[in-house]
């Protein structure tokens, strides 16, 4: 189960409780559940930010299935799209143009293609604003301003939009040199809880990193006394804000959760959802797309 607020989780459960995937989606394709995951995590993020969205969930599951199944469309046993960038482009285009969700279609498409490329070890090498603007161009049928797209149309290319979107992203991503995690303070709290540490007492722009120990009473009689100890004090703008790498370094050192303490990054960040990490990284364009 995703870590969603109760109100958002109730809607997620309603759509997924008895749902069965219409087909087998092999990598690099995303499943209907993957796309729902991205959409509901966006909804949850905006809920926590106090912004909300116009409506949560798909308008119709059949419409969503049709959009996701674009990735595996073909003729007989011949698959139409057989390359990562083409597959991700047709899903991106479908989510933007089919409007299968009540709201946040552009945001869901934006996040979905970044997640699909992330799973294949790609990340953007251009600014987030450039991807944001391109998403709006696709939504508003403004691809004609690109000469490459016009050439595809002129040549009679089938599905010129998908072919161009595929080309556009190929030119603007690179392989990931080393996996890095971007997390929010809420996610850091969950990580620290696993090791017996907690973020408490937010005060101004700071918050305490604390731990507790039980101290036996005199002669061992009675209930042990709960002793609170502060191990660090770090900057804290809000729960949904991104934690700076330097802050994570300070916290891990203070809590003795470093590699040399027997807790490498894989163990420390284990279990984090990459979609949540991407939402944190691309919070700004996701917020702006809400109004575009």
pTM: 0.77
The pLDDT value recorded for residue 181 is 74
CATH of 6-178+276-289, one of 3.30.470.10, 3.90.320.10, 1.20.120.1870, 3.40.50.2020: 1.20.120.1870
- Measure the CA–CA gap between 169 and 202, rounded to whole angstroms: 41
Structure tokens at 263: 């807790």
* Beta partners for residue 74, in sequence order: 79
CA 213, CA 199: separation in Å to the nearest integer?
16
- List the domain boundaries for the chain: 6-178+276-289, 185-271
First-last CA distance in the chain: 31
Tell me the per-residue pLDDT of 32-91, one tens digit each, with 9 for 90 and over. 999 999 999 999 988 888 877 778 999 999 999 999 999 998 877 788 999 999 999 999
Measuring CA to CA, which residue among 247, 242, 255 is closest to residue 287? 242
**What is the pLDDT, as a whole number, of residue 4?**
84
Instruction: List the structure tokens of 146.
Output: 């690109």
pLDDT tens digit string along 109-161? Answer: 999 999 999 889 898 999 999 999 999 999 999 999 999 999 999 999 999 99
Q: How far, in Å, CA of 54 to CA of 101, rounded?
A: 10
Reply yes or no on whether the pLDDT at 275 is more than 70: yes
Q: Which residue do the tokens 């850091």 mark?
A: 188
| CA dist., res. 16 & res. 9, Å (int) | 10
CB 291 within 8 A of CB 280: no
2 pLDDT more than 70? no
Check residue 76 and give left, alpha or beta (phi > 0: left; psi -120 to 50: alpha). left
- In this model, does residue 271 exceed pLDDT 70? no
Quickly count: other Cβ atoms within 10 Å of residue 148's Cβ. Answer: 13
Q: Is the pLDDT of residue 180 over 80?
A: no
- C-alpha 173/C-alpha 18 separation (Å) is 37
Which residue reads 């804290």 in tokens?
A: 236
Exposed, middle or buried, 246 (CB in 10 Å: 0-12/13-18/19+)? Answer: exposed
């Amino acid at each position: 189960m995703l870590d969603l607020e109760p109100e958002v989780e109730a809607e997620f459960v309603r759509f997924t409780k008895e749902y069965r995937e219409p087909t087998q989606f092999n990598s690099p394709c995303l499943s209907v559940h993957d796309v729902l995951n991205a959409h509901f995590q966006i909804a949850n993020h905006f809920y926590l930010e106090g912004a909300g969205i116009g409506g949560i969930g798909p308008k119709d599951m059949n419409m969503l299935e049709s959009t996701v199944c674009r990735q595996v469309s073909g003729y007989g046993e011949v698959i139409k799209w057989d390359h990562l960038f083409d597959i991700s482009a047709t899903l991106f285009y479908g989510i933007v143009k089919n409007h299968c969700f009540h709201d946040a279609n552009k945001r869901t498409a934006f996040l979905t293609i970044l997640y699909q490329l992330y799973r294949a070890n790609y990340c953007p090498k251009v600014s987030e604003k450039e991807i944001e603007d391109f998403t709006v161009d696709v939504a508003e049928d403004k691809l004609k301003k690109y000469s490459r797209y016009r050439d595809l149309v002129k040549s009679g290319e089938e599905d010129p939009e998908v072919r161009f979107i595929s080309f556009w992203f190929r030119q603007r991503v690179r392989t990931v040199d080393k996996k890095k995690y971007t997390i929010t303070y809420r996610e850091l709290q969950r990580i620290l809880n696993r090791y017996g540490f907690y973020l408490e007492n937010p005060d101004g722009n700071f918050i305490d990193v604390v731990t507790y120990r039980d101290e036996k009473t005199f002669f061992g009689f009675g209930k042990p006394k709960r002793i609170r100890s502060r191990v660090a004090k770090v900057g804290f703008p809000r729960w949904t804000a991104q934690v700076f790498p330097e802050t994570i370094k300070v916290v891990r050192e203070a809590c003795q959760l470093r590699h040399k303490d027997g807790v490498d990054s894989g163990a420390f960040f284990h279990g984090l959802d990459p979609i949540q990490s991407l939402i944190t990284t691309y919070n700004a364009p996701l917020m702006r797309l809400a109004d575009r």
